[in-house]
């Protein structure tokens, strides 16, 4: 167990002066943060804890029953491998032993970086014809997508240069996903280029293939080398691409943020080893990272090498030559593939991606690849590309920063993945359209605070190494916002944002005169204590504080790190999490009519198959009974997960804090005396939904800076004065309160004596003062689904119990069957807290013979006065998937941003409280 003394007995360390190239300080035996790093590292590397597969790769998590981006805990991602490389670099700094860092790169080359046998026909690639165009579609039901050879694609300007530099047409990048226990049974083993079927050994797999709305719950896994041994007659290919004939083939997808993190890890290894006089010990691995950075430039190009900017029609958007197809950002992926060996007819393809997310940018990697000689790639144009990418990334983050300080989503060169025209008035960045949720929509890609912390950690590292003024300006605003939304209690409880909600949009980018984004805003929907995200947040604060001298940021970094350390387990550091989304194990996976096939274990894939139907092996997992009980109507299951990336990030947070913010190798560097406990805690007022408190001032040897207020032992909020009002409570309910004082050194007092308060009766459900906002998320009025976004706002002065609220969207069924499928693809409150069904109108009206009724479970809680539910993404289909004609539907409108709508009704306790029924 980690020492509790980390949280209570260690003073906040003031920022130590650090500059790029400064000597790495040896870890001191009395530095508790270095020791915490070594403890965490030991838990990760202990074989009994189960973090690594027999092939030496880190599992996504120790636990097997897990569905998030990977759909099984014992898969791995290139993300996990990149964190492993960084972890070993930090171990080298602390111990001087660089063998583990080099071993991580050796394992990666044998496994997750495809060998020549795994991309055997790469020599057939023609840079003048990189790929055949196939449009993406908004929904999985739009697939397979037909190849269209009439749409012109551009020329790949990198391939010849890379082949000349490295003597091969093979691509050197990590594939993003592997099945380390071969649970699926494809046996698509590294170095074989084949399918050996069930049995031991890691296997390449892939999942996402069908547009932005395809969540992990709607994927059909497949091997990366598809030899038609599993799936249907054409393997899995005809689920995704509509072609006249199908050839056995291989294909890989790269996650650029992971490869960039591997470069980042190599930079730190090189700098730390150089400070130790051991640069030669890591030179071979650093050269591999430089090579990876050379190929990573494919992430800077439009998917089909079309011109970047104002590309709003696939036929007329010109095919590019040279650098006209290069946007210089880190996009969501690049991919490559080709014919399987011996399948007849050699061919290969490569694509980039036009969609870029703020959370994927890595200014530190771009700077290192363009400024550090040991990391300069071989190709003649690589250094210049990365130098321009660094500038473009900094501009991108400036463009996306909201008025509050958080970063909106990103941009795309191909609206909806089909070079369509974006809605009128959409702002642009170098001609690319703003997209608040680039790449995926279930859940919305930029609503997770983790993407904020991940991205800012990289920017803060770049700022720490260079002192760049533009990076400092962006960071200081973000740190102020994030800090204002973060609370850390005296008992080690902590919380920071989890789900974000976005309104407005940025100004169109003008490099000569950037706008102030006065209309772009973020609000926090809910909070969490995810330790992996917390670790990235701490690293951001640490880098920023060490360079800027911001003692508040340093104190918050320490407070969060100490609080997380109190959640130690035998395997690492983790907090329990309730997985309400696991009700989606029964979600249907779209399979086209007439298609059927089998998984390696014999599971049937056919129309109507669900996520669990094609993964029946999950029912043998020892944790499955918890999920089954939930599916049978019980409580949502709780898990304590140990994700590799999160555990490595925590170890790194300890190590980086020790390196940069602990003075003199752990010697006390500041105030260690806690304040006195507050006295005189008194209840000053109660209402039906709030309690007001006051107390006497605590004293401190320096100064008291704030107070933490606890309700029933859980942190309720912070105060800088000696009064606090706790809102949003239940009526006629007793609560217990205590208060602790906090000083600038991060020291906290003992808790005050407790007081109890009972809220008054009545009034907790409000009076029905609500309104509904709507946006159209469906570009076609005549396809086979109705798609819409809604949000409910409380316009009254008291909280509303959401379980009393119903929302009705009226539409016409346009013939066909009387049964419908309804879906909540995303909800800021959690999809499992939303109910939805289609109801027939008793007396059909013009534009309305049915309505979609949306409700809220008790788990949605209350909606505070002035608050919004955040976005609900909804859709409807007929059971036979026939088309609608929405043009005459009563509730439909054409606005693509949220606006008040009187044609969607809101009912509170059965009474119409908003809107006009048809």
> What Cα–Cα distance (Å) separates residue 563 from each residue in 567, 568, 748, 796?
8, 10, 12, 37
CA R_g for the chain: 28
Distance separating alpha carbons of residues 438 and 442, to the nearest angstrom = 11
Distance separating alpha carbons of residues 182 and 189, to the nearest angstrom = 9
Establish how many alpha carbons lie within 13 A of residue 664's alpha carbon, considering only the half-sphere containing its beta carbon.
Answer: 4
Query: What SS3 state is found at 379?
Result: coil
> 199 — alpha (psi -120 to 50), left (phi > 0) or beta?
left
Q: Where do runs of H (alpha helix) occur along 381-440?
A: 382-400
> What Cα–Cα distance (Å) separates residue 768 from each residue in 202, 773, 802?
56, 16, 10
Residues in the chain: 918
DSSP secondary structure code for residue 636 in this structure: P
How many C-beta atoms surround the C-beta of residue 246 within 10 A?
Answer: 15
Query: What SS3 state is found at 856?
Result: strand
Distance separating alpha carbons of residues 80 and 112, to the nearest angstrom = 11
Distance separating alpha carbons of residues 368 and 365, to the nearest angstrom = 5
Query: What SS3 state is found at 234?
Result: coil
The tokens for 582 are 């696991």
The tokens for 593 are 């009519």
Asked if 491 is an active-site residue, the reply is yes
Beta strands in 797-833 (DSSP E): 800-801, 805-811, 820-827
Residue 810: partners with Cβ closer than 8 Å, 6 or more residues away: 841, 845, 847, 848, 850, 851, 889, 890, 891, 903, 904, 905, 917, 918
User: By C-alpha distance, which of 639, 636, 646 is closest to 538?
Assistant: 646
Establish how many alpha carbons lie within 13 A of residue 515's alpha carbon, considering only the half-sphere containing its beta carbon.
Answer: 19
Residue 127: partners with Cβ closer than 8 Å, 6 or more residues away: 155, 156, 157, 158, 159, 160
602 within 8 A of 609, measured Cβ to Cβ: no
Residue 832: phi, psi to the nearest 5?
Answer: -70, -15
Peptide bond into 144 cis (omega under 30): yes
Report CA torsion sign: 108, 113, 115, 116.
negative
Distance separating alpha carbons of residues 735 and 755, to the nearest angstrom = 8
Considering 170, 226, 353, 491, which one is annotated as catalytic?
491
Query: What SS3 state is found at 272?
Result: helix
Task: Quote the Cα angle for 755-758-759, to 5°.
Answer: 135
List own/partner pairs for 841-849 with CB under 8 A and 24 or more apart.
841/810, 841/918, 845/810, 845/890, 845/918, 846/888, 846/890, 846/918, 847/810, 847/811, 847/812, 847/888, 847/889, 847/890, 847/918, 848/810, 848/811, 848/812, 848/889, 848/890, 848/891, 848/918, 849/812, 849/813
The catalytic residue positions are 491
């Amino acid at each position: 167990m980690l020492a509790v003394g980390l949280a209570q007995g260690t003073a906040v360390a003031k920022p130590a002066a650090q500059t790029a190239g400064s000597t790495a300080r040896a870890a001191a035996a009395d530095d508790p943060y270095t020791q915490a790093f070594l403890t965490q590292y030991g838990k990760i590397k202990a074989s009994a804890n189960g973090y690594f597969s027999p092939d030496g790769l880190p599992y996504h998590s120790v636990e097997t029953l897990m569905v998030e981006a990977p759909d099984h805990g014992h898969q791995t991602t290139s993300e996990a491998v990149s964190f492993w490389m960084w972890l070993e670099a930090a171990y080298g700094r602390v111990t001087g032993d660089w063998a583990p860092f080099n071993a991580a790169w050796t394992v990666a080359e044998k496994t997750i970086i495809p060998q020549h046998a795994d991309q055997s026909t790469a020599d057939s690639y023609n840079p003048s014809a990189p790929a055949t165009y196939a449009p993406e579609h908004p929904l999985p039901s739009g697939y397979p997508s037909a190849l269209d050879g009439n749409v012109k694609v551009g020329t790949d300007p990198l391939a010849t240069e890379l082949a000349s530099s490295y003597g091969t047409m093979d691509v050197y990048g990590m594939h993003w996903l592997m099945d380390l226990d071969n649970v699926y049974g494809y046996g698509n083993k590294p170095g074989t280029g084949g399918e050996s079927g069930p049995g031991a050994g890691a296997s390449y797999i892939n999942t996402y293939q069908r547009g932005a709305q395809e969540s992990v719950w709607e994927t059909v896994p497949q091997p990366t080398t598809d030899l038609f041994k599993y799936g249907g007659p054409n393997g899995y290919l005809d689920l995704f691409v509509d072609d006249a004939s199908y050839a056995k083939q291989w294909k890989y997808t790269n996650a650029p943020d992971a490869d960039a993190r591997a470069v980042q890890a190599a930079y730190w290894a090189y700098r730390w080893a150089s400070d130790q006089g051991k640069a030669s010990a890591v030179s071979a691995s650093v050269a591999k990272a430089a090579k990876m950075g050379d190929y990573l430039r494919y992430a800077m190009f439009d998917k089909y090498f079309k011109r970047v900017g104002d590309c709003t029609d696939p036929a007329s958007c010109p095919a590019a030559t040279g650098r006209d197809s290069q946007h210089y950002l880190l996009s969501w992926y690049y991919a490559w593939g080709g014919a399987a060996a011996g399948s007849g007819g050699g061919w290969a393809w490569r694509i980039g991606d036009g969609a870029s997310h703020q959370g994927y940018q890595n200014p530190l990697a771009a700077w290192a690849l363009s400024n550090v000689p040991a990391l300069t790639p071989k190709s003649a144009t690589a250094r210049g590309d990365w130098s321009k990418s660094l500038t473009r990334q900094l501009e991108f983050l400036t463009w996306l920063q909201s008025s509050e300080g958080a970063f909106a989503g990103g941009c795309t060169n191909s609206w909806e993945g089909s070079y369509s025209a974006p809605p009128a008035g959409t702002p642009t960045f170098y001609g690319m359209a703003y997209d608040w949720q680039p790449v995926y929509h279930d859940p919305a890609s930029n609503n997770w605070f983790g993407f904020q912390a991940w991205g800012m950690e990289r920017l803060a590292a770049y700022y720490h190494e260079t002192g760049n003024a533009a990076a400092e300006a962006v960071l200081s605003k973000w740190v102020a916002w994030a800090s204002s939304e973060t609370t850390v209690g005296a008992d080690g409880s902590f919380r920071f944002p989890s789900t974000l909600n976005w309104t407005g949009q940025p100004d169109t980018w003008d490099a000569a005169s950037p706008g102030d984004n006065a209309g772009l805003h973020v609000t926090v929907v809910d909070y969490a204590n995810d330790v992996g995200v917390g670790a990235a947040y701490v690293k951001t604060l640490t880098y920023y504080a060490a360079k800027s001298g911001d003692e508040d940021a340093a104190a918050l970094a320490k407070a969060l790190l100490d609080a997380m350390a109190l959640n130690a387990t035998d395997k690492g550091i983790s907090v329990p999490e309730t997985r309400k989304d696991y009700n989606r194990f029964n979600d249907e996976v779209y399979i086209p009519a007439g298609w059927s096939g089998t998984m390696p274990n014999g599971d049937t894939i056919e129309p109507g198959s669900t996520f669990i139907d094609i993964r029946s092996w999950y029912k043998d997992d020892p944790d499955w009974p918890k999920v089954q009980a939930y599916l049978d109507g019980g409580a949502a299951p709780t898990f304590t997960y140990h994700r590799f990336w999160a555990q490595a990030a925590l170890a790194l947070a300890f190590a980086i804090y020790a390196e940069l913010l602990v003075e003199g190798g752990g010697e006390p560097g500041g105030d260690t005396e806690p304040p006195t406990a507050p006295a005189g805690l008194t209840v000053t007022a109660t209402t039906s939904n709030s309690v007001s408190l006051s107390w006497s001032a605590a004293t401190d040897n320096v100064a008291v800076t704030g107070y933490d207020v606890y309700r029933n032992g859980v942190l309720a909020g912070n105060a800088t004065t000696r009064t606090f009002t706790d809102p949003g409570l239940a009526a006629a309910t007793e609560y217990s309160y205590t208060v602790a004082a906090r000083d600038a050194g991060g020291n906290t007092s003992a808790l005050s004596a407790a007081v109890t308060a009972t809220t008054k009766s009545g009034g907790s459900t409000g009076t029905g003062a609500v309104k509904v906002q709507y946006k159209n998320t469906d570009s076609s009025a005549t396809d086979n689904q109705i798609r819409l976004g809604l949000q409910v706002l409380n316009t009254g002065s008291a909280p509303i119990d959401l379980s009393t609220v119903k929302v009705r969207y009226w539409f016409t069924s346009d013939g066909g069957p009387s049964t419908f499928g309804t879906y909540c693809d995303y909800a800021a409150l959690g999809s499992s807290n939303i109910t939805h069904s289609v109801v027939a109108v008793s007396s059909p009206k013009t534009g309305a013979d049915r309505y979609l009724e949306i409700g809220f479970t008790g788990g949605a809680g209350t909606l505070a006065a002035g608050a919004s539910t955040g976005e609900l993404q909804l859709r409807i289909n007929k059971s036979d998937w026939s088309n609608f004609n929405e043009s005459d539907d009563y509730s439909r409108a054409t606005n693509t941003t949220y606006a008040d709508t009187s044609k969607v009704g809101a009912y509170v306790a059965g009474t119409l409280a908003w809107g006009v029924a048809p």
